Chains A and B, each alone.
Chain A
Amino acid sequence: MRDNFDAIEQTAEVKEVRARTFELIEFLHDIQKVEAFPWARFPHRVGLHNSCGTLRRLKHARPSELHEPFFSKPMDLLTKVEGIEFVTPARPDECCGFGGTFSVFEEVVSTKMGYDKVSDHARAGAEYIVSADSSCLMHQQGCAERIGVPLKFIHIAQILNGASA
């Protein structure tokens, strides 16, 4: 919305909407500056998946390619959830292969990337993959189910909102 919504006439209202559109994580982290989620408890091992859009475009976290100090907004929020435990896959920020139309135009490569991604998380010992991007989750779930990797998938909003499992 903020970066690419330029195909229609840029009226004052359009500009207003574009300027005031925030992704959930940046809203909670940067605008609301939420300090605690007292209602949330998630006693599980989770692998965090940052979608490429949130990672490299919205800059939710430091991508592994750059020589910059480490930070991770979703991790900051999730560490405030009681009982949560993180696992780190071998390739933490490799693309999972969803990629919008890519997932159907290049479906073989896309699903191979998905298989590799969910296997990597499973090897690291994850019970859940958590992400702020439902499309990545949907794709990874489809891949995990097809090759029989026993992982569960959950949106970060569900955990922060107090979902128990």
Chain B
Amino acid sequence: MSTPPTMLHPELLARHDGDAILRDGRRLDHAEAASKPLRSRPEPQPRGAKIHGNRPVDQAEAAACFIAAPEHEKMHDERLWDLRQKRDREMHGIAEWEELRSLASAIKEHTLTHLDEYLEQFEAKARANGIHVHWARDAADHNRIVHGILNDHGAKSLIKSKSMLTEECGFRAYMASVGIEVIETDLGERIQQLDNEDPSHIVVPAVHKLRTDVAAVFSKTIGTDPDNSDVHYLAEAQRETTRPLILAADAGMTGCNFAVAETGTFVVCTNEGNADLSANVPKLHIASIGIEKIVPRLEHLAVFVRLLSRSALGSPVTQYTSHFRGPREGGEMHVVLVDNGRSERLGMEEFWTSLKCIRCGACMNTCPVYRRSGGLSYGATYSGPIGLIIDPTFNARKYSNLPFASSLNGSCSNVCPVKINIHEQIYAWRRELVKQHEVPLAKKAAMKAAGELLSRPAAYRAAIATADVALAHLPRFVIYNGLNAWGRHREVPHSPNQTFHSWHKANRGEKS
């Protein structure tokens, strides 16, 4: 899915500058006549987390870089908050919203606890519909299977719609390594592909970019005017250059939002209609489907389709909700059912319900940390709250810092349309990572010291008293220095005239 034009942040729209337009419509751009500088240099786009192999991703560092780019941070925060507000408005339009959430959660939990049966049912029905069904144990399996299908058809180019599963599988990089050209057809995803960057959000993949960033990418890749960052101009230029590639492609690929066991059919939701292009223009259609995407019956779609786009973008429904039922005449349809760690996750007592996720991104839109950090700061396929609880299942060491990138405010769990207790799982992951010795020493030492202080009342009171006296008398440079993470960007607390303990002792006697 990507964003319809009405949802563009004002920052993304071209500024109307009537004074600087000549009568023939050309921009007045020579310095003497214009009262403003020719153009100010746009703020460079902050890039995401630095990845060093298997070493823990430093989300905090990357987030600080994002905040150091105030135009990007402000646009990102406001734009996603706008989506959250639109979601709230849609929610208030549906009296049975909370019942829908409970129902969606119950359907998903039921399905996940009977996953084997529903998957086999789906496979049988899909085969009966004339769909080829493949099973992939992991990312490598998935990529090999798709490569094999493409080879069988001599396909050299593939158009695809957005799919987080293929991101998970490192699919584009693999295809590049075997010499098959992949063309993303979702506008946001295409921008990210041309910029050689991962999607920063699971629904709006280029949401962290200003229109000036897009102009820079397009000018380098598809030859647009680097100084023209008008959204319609850029979108049109992309369309013009991509359409011929779409029309000439040998094969098409989509992801899947819901796969229906009783019918052996699947549903893809988009706002641009690009999944339909990808699936219907070439004769060969391959769909990558995570095994958790199954719902038992067609009627269950009614619950999820009502929740999905309202939660994601605050729109009542996606522009296109396409049902794929089988190959068209003379065509072929393949489905690859991918596990890639899902079975293992299903066996994790505290974390299996993360598989209920329908990838709407509502938790990201509401997350105050995500909005101020940018999705690329997480250095992982899944960012934001849902990423914090899924990523460590892929690599506990590499993503060991992520569960700490949360204030545990709980807003994510409240907006989740399938009621995943996201913030409780974030907390559970912190404990789990400590158990697995994947928490950096500095973090552990700080927590241990605090724990010891807090468990000894006398020591705690003495420390408070000492600190209060110290803070009141020490010179500023002693309190505020690089070692004081509290005081780098905020003032330290004022010392009270009296602590509650000393007041209580004086006013309520010894018995307490």
Q: Which A36-73 residues have C-beta < 8 A from chain B?
A: 52, 56-57, 63-68
Q: Determine the chain A residues whose CB is within 8 A of the CB of B88 once the complex forms.
A: 64-65
Is there an interface contact between B98 and A109, defined as CB atoms closer than 8 Å? no
Q: Beyond A95-B409, A142-B492, A143-B490, is A101–B368 a contact (Cβ under 8 Å)?
A: no
Main secondary structure on A side of the interface with B:
helix
Interface string of A64-84 (1 = CB under 8 A from B): 111110000000000000000
A139–B59 CA distance with the chains assembled, in angstroms: 22
Contact of A65 among B64, B73, B411, B490 (CB under 8 A): B411
Q: Is A34 an interface residue (CB 8 A)?
A: no
A109–B488 CA distance with the chains assembled, in angstroms: 12
Q: Determine the chain B residues whose CB is within 8 A of the CB of A116 once the complex forms.
A: 77
Minimum C-beta distance from B105 to chain A (A): 14
Minimum C-beta distance from A30 to chain B (A): 21
Q: Which A80-124 residues have C-beta < 8 A from chain B?
A: 91, 93-95, 97-114, 116
Q: Is A145 an interface residue (CB 8 A)?
A: yes
Is there an interface contact between B67 and A109, defined as CB atoms closer than 8 Å? yes
Count residues on chain B whose CB falls below 8 Å from chain A CBs: 45
A101–B120 CA distance with the chains assembled, in angstroms: 46
**What interface size band does chain A fall in?**
35 or more
Is there an interface contact between B67 and A102, defined as CB atoms closer than 8 Å? no
Contact of A111 among B406, B443, B489 (CB under 8 A): B489
Q: Beyond A95-B368, A112-B372, is A106–B405 a contact (Cβ under 8 Å)?
A: yes
Q: Is A17 an interface residue (CB 8 A)?
A: no
Contact of B67 among A57, A108, A141 (CB under 8 A): A108
Is there an interface contact between A67 and B369, defined as CB atoms closer than 8 Å? no
Q: Determine the chain B residues whose CB is within 8 A of the CB of A20 once the complex forms.
A: none
Q: Beyond A65-B414, A104-B486, A107-B486, is A52–B491 a contact (Cβ under 8 Å)?
A: no
Q: Is B373 an interface residue (CB 8 A)?
A: yes
Say which one of B43-51, B89-97, B282-290, B339-347 lies at the interface with A.
Answer: B89-97
9 intermolecular pairs with C-beta atoms under 8 Å apart: A63-B411, A63-B414, A66-B414, A91-B81, A100-B407, A107-B60, A108-B489, A139-B490, A142-B487
List 4 additional A-B contacts (Cβ < 8 Å) besides A105-B404, A146-B489: A63-B414, A67-B92, A67-B98, A110-B407
A interface, CB within 8 angstroms of B? 52, 56-57, 63-68, 91, 93-95, 97-114, 116, 138-139, 141-143, 145-146
